[in-house]
Chain A
């Protein structure tokens, strides 16, 4: 295997590590906002490293563009969602206090 594919495997494994860390944070952290913090790390960095590793394996131009687009869409969704959930939790106008 070439050094580039070793680098790709290292990136993918680092991404999986972030997913595991996000799950552990989601299970172990005490309150809602800190769990939100753990979750967004897993979303952004974990999937980013996974996509970077898959890009290094050389999937071709069109697939590469699709991979980067997937990451950008998840970034946008996760950032927007984190802000919306945090604002809802701080304002307390959801059903969370029942």
Chain B
């Protein structure tokens, strides 16, 4: 069992937690819950990209993960700046 096998198993585990987290995005019940689930999805995606580097041998994925982590704050800040009365 080599290192990339273990990384592949870790990547599959992370993918399954991501897909379970999608249920929370679907059922809500509040928009905050959906956003929190999406944030967990983003973080798991970053972890997934980092372990996939050794599995599929694409070292540039670390830069993709870097961009993901930079953009992670933007969605939450944009969501929380929104107010109900501004939507009319």
Contact = CB atoms under 8 A, between A and B. Distances in A.
Interface string A60-80: 000100110111011011101
Contact of A95 (B7, B37, B44, B84): B84
Query: Is chain A's binding surface mostly helix, strand, loop or mixed?
Result: helix
Given A19-B14, A26-B40, A74 B80 contact: no
Contact of A93 (B31, B36, B46, B83): B83
Contact of B20 (A27, A81, A84): A27
Query: Is chain B's binding surface mostly helix, strand, loop or mixed?
Result: helix
A35 B26 CA distance: 15
B80 A84 contact: yes
B24 A19 contact: no
B62 A67 contact: yes
Give the most central of B59, B62, B82: most A CB within 10 Å.
B62
Contacts of A67: 50, 62
Contact of B17 (A19, A71, A74): A19
Contacts of B65: 70
Give the most central of B6, B59, B76, B80: most A CB within 10 Å.
B80
A69 B70 CA distance: 10
Contacts of A88: 32, 80
Interface string B63-88: 10110011011001100101110010
Interface of A: 1, 5, 9, 12-13, 15-16, 19-20, 22-23, 26-27, 32, 35-36, 39, 42-43, 46-47, 50-51, 54, 57, 63, 66-67, 69-71, 73-74, 76-78, 80-81, 84-85, 87-89, 93-96, 98
Please list the 10 inter-chain residue pairs (A to B) with the smallest Cβ-Cβ separation, ordered nearest first: A81-B76, A77-B73, A73-B69, A77-B72, A84-B80, A23-B17, A96-B30, A70-B69, A43-B43, A74-B69
